[in-house]
């Protein structure tokens, strides 16, 4: 199943590449999306927090503060997808933290990134479901936490249609912290 997912993801990425080029979406940190991180990066089993864009980064700002207070020796690896989210993440990162762009969810890329940073915990905001990353973290026994999760009515209907695909992925997440009781039921 994972080979099929990788193949589909890769085909979509290749088809979308010209659009990305045309819209000039490439930026200095884009190579991080392919798992290219600085060679001397040493974070000592950081807490990895993934927040897609500005809203998600702002939503976890206080959580990061609480985690810093509870685990003062821990460093953070904060990943984003958008340049504006990345900029905000850099503003809340401390000296020994590292802010990066989230790797493409291709098995060979996420394995390389996970092996490089060796996180002690992975926290993802909202309902970001990245099958290859979740599988890789699970196989390496790295706890996975989803915070500020939500499922809209429309998404819920779509998820029901692919429940057989989602269930094995979601079963690998250790803890769900969701916004409402309805989200928890879903």
d(CA 170, CA 155): 15
* Dist. CA 50–CA 103, nearest whole Å: 10
User: Which of 15, 34, 51 shows the shortest CA–CA distance to 116?
Assistant: 34
Edge-to-edge order in the sheet of strand 121-125? 98-101, 76-80, 47-50, 121-125, 144-149, 175-178
119 close to 23: Cβ distance less than 8 angstroms: no
Q: What angle do CA 149, 155, 156 make, to 5 degrees?
A: 85
Beta strands in 15-160 (DSSP E): 47-50, 76-80, 98-101, 121-125, 144-149
Residues acting as catalytic residues: 56
Phi, psi of 97 (to 5 degrees): -85, 170
């Amino acid at each position: 199943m994972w080979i099929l997912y990788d193949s589909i993801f890769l085909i979509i990425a290749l088809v979308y590449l010209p659009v990305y080029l045309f819209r000039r979406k490439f930026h200095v940190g884009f190579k991080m999306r392919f798992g290219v991180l600085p060679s001397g990066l040493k974070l000592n089993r950081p807490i990895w927090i993934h927040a897609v864009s500005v809203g998600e980064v702002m939503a976890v700002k206080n959580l990061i503060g609480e985690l810093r207070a509870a685990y003062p020796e821990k460093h953070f690896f904060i990943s984003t997808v958008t340049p504006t989210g990345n900029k905000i993440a850099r503003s809340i990162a401390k000296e020994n933290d590292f802010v990066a762009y989230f790797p493409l969810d291709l098995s060979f890329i996420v394995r390389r990134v996970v092996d490089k940073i060796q996180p002690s915990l992975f926290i993802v905001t909202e309902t970001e479901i990245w099958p290859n990353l979740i599988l890789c973290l699970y196989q390496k026994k790295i706890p996975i936490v989803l915070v500020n999760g939500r499922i809209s009515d429309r998404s819920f209907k779509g998820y029901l249609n692919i429940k057989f695909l989602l269930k094995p992925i979601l079963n690998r997440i250790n803890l769900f912290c969701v916004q409402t009781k309805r989200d928890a039921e879903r």
